[in-house]
Amino acid sequence: MNEDEKRIENALKAEVVRKKVVSVDSAALNDKGPATITMTDGPLIPKKGEKHVLSSWRITFVGAILLLAALLVFKPEPYLQIFKVCIQGAPVTFQVTICAIIGAVIIGTFTGLGSVSRHRWINMISGIYVELIRGIPLLVQLIFIYYAVGRFFHIEGMVAAVIALSICFGAYMGEIIRAGIQAVPRGQTEAATALGLSRTQVFIHVVLPQTVKVVLPAIGNEFISMLKDSTLVSQLALADILRKGREYISRTFLSLETMLIVALIYLILTLVLSRLVGMLEERLHKNG
C-alpha cells in the first residue's frame, strides 16, 4: 500500500468518526451506540426513552418548585410579598425577550446569508459585524445604545433594550444560520441546479427548509440564554423581575431573601423553556 492509498484510508476513517461523534448521551453509551456530544445553554433535559425516574432536569425542577412553595406557604412573611412584587416584572421580561429574539433572528438571517455570500465585500461586512459585536459585552452595548445614541435620537428604555439584545444576539444567530446553511449537503444543491432551478429557487425550496429544521433547536437555546441575559435591562430602569426585586431591597433591605425568590423564578422559567426546546428537538428528529 503506497502513501496515497494510506492517506485516503485515514481520511475515510476520520470521516466515519466525525459523523458518529455528534453528542454525549449516557443512554447511547449504555446501548453501545455512537457517542453523541450536545452543547446547549439549557439544563439537561430528560428524554422519553430514559428508564430511570430521576434525572438532572426533574430533580432541579421539582426541587425549585418545592422550595418556592415551601417558602410561600410556611414563611409567607416576607417571601409571599417578595414573590408578588417580583412576579410583576415577568411581563416586561417576556416582552423584551420575545421582541429581541425576533429582531435577532432577522439580523442573524441576513448575517448568515452574508457569511456564505460569494460577494467578497458582503462576506467581509458580515464577518466584521460578528467579530465586533461578539467582542463587546452586552452590558456595554446596552449602556452605549441607551445613553450615547439617546443623545441624537430620543429612545425609550424598552426600545434600547430590544435593539441592544437584537444586535448582540444577532451576531450569534448569524453564526447559527451560517452553520445551518452549510449543513445542507452540497450534492442536493448541485442536483437542484442540474434540474434547471435558479439559485433563488434552490435556496427557497431546497436549502431553506432544511436549514430551518437544523437551526430551530439552537434558536430555542438562544431564547433561553436571552431570557437570562435580559436581567441586564434593569440597568435601563425597566421594571423587569430583577428590577422589581432591587426596588424591594431598597425599601426593606432584605437582599438575601429577595435574590433567592428572583433566582427561583428565573430558574423555573428557564427549566420550563428548556423542556419545551427539548420537546421541539425530539419532534424534529422524529419527523426526520
Q: Does 31 map to a domain?
A: yes
Q: Are 107 and 167 in contact (CB under 8 A)?
A: yes
Residue with cell 430583577: 242
Co-location of 207 and 89 in the same domain: yes
Q: What DSSP character marks residue 207?
A: I
Q: For residue 246, what is the domain's CATH number?
A: 1.10.3720.10
Q: What is the extent of the structural domain holding 207?
A: 76-286
Co-location of 91 and 151 in the same domain: yes
Q: Does 53 map to a domain?
A: no
Q: Are 210 and 184 in contact (CB under 8 A)?
A: yes
Number of domain units in the chain: 2
pTM of the model: 0.75
Residue type at 143 in one-letter notation: I
Give the pLDDT of residue 283.
78
Q: Is the pLDDT of residue 96 over 70?
A: yes
Question: What span, in angstroms and rounded, lies between the C-alpha atoms of 102 and 163?
Answer: 11
Number of Cβ atoms within 10 Å of the Cβ of 158: 15
Cell digits of residue 75: 414563611
Co-location of 93 and 16 in the same domain: no
Q: Would you place residue 106 in the very low, low, confident or very high pLDDT band (cuts 50, 70, 90)?
A: very high
Q: Per-residue pLDDT tens for 44-62?
A: 555 555 555 557 888 999 9
Give the pLDDT of residue 248.
93
Co-location of 123 and 243 in the same domain: yes
Question: What span, in angstroms and rounded, lies between the C-alpha atoms of 165 and 107?
Answer: 11
Number of Cβ atoms within 10 Å of the Cβ of 80: 14
Q: Does 50 map to a domain?
A: no
Largest CA distance in the chain: 80
Number of Cβ atoms within 10 Å of the Cβ of 285: 10
Q: What DSSP character marks residue 44?
A: P
For 63-67, 125-129, 146-150, 182-186, which range has the lowest pLDDT when averaged over its residues?
A: 146-150
